[in-house]
Amino acid sequence: MTTPVDTARLGGRMPASVVFSAKALRGRVEDLGNEITAAYTPADRLLVLGLLKGSFLFMADLVREIRLPLQVDFLVASSYGDDMESSGSVRLLYDPETSLEGRAVLVLEDIVDTGTTLEQVIPRLRARGPKSIEVCALLHKRLRPLEVEPRWVGFDAPNDFLVGYGLDYAEDFRHLPYIATL
């Protein structure tokens, strides 16, 4: 059962076509879990740090596929608001108090498009003395070369506005079990 969407408030916008099915997402998340498990050891004291709100479904599914002891925490960063284009300015709305000192930190991002969020958040995290910082992105648009490229990428994404599986438009469509164009 899907939640009704107020299409009038969205200017009639509804998802147009499925880009990544729920089945494809499940399979790729399982593969990523295996790759990440192979890259770390229990001694790394893995901390999985999800960028909210978009990564929450991806994170929940991925951490269940990582077969290592780990802890989770979140960052809330915003550069979109209710727009379909990034403002280019990243505001950190929630910054975890979890110690990063000497730990392997895995930052989970729902989608990398401009890379602005990662380029502003990663230096802040590095200043806290982690053993390592890696990025896992569910989707990557590859719009330009980045200073911090994700080590793991679920899918290369089209240069469209995407919703579903945590991705939203003005807070709607996060609940969809697939990823679609808007």
Residues serving a catalytic function are 113
* The two three-digit tokens of residue 5, written as one number: 């969407």
DSSP letter at 43 equals G
DSSP letter at 78 equals E
Distances (CA, A) of 18 to 15, 151, 179: 8, 26, 6
Q: Could you tell me which of 42, 44, 37 has the C-alpha nearest to residue 104?
A: 44
- Other CB atoms closer than 10 Å to residue 129's CB: what's the count? 11
**Structure-derived torsion over alpha carbons of residues 37, 142, 144, 131, reported in degrees to the nearest 10:** -10
> 152 — phi, psi (to 5°)?
-120, 135
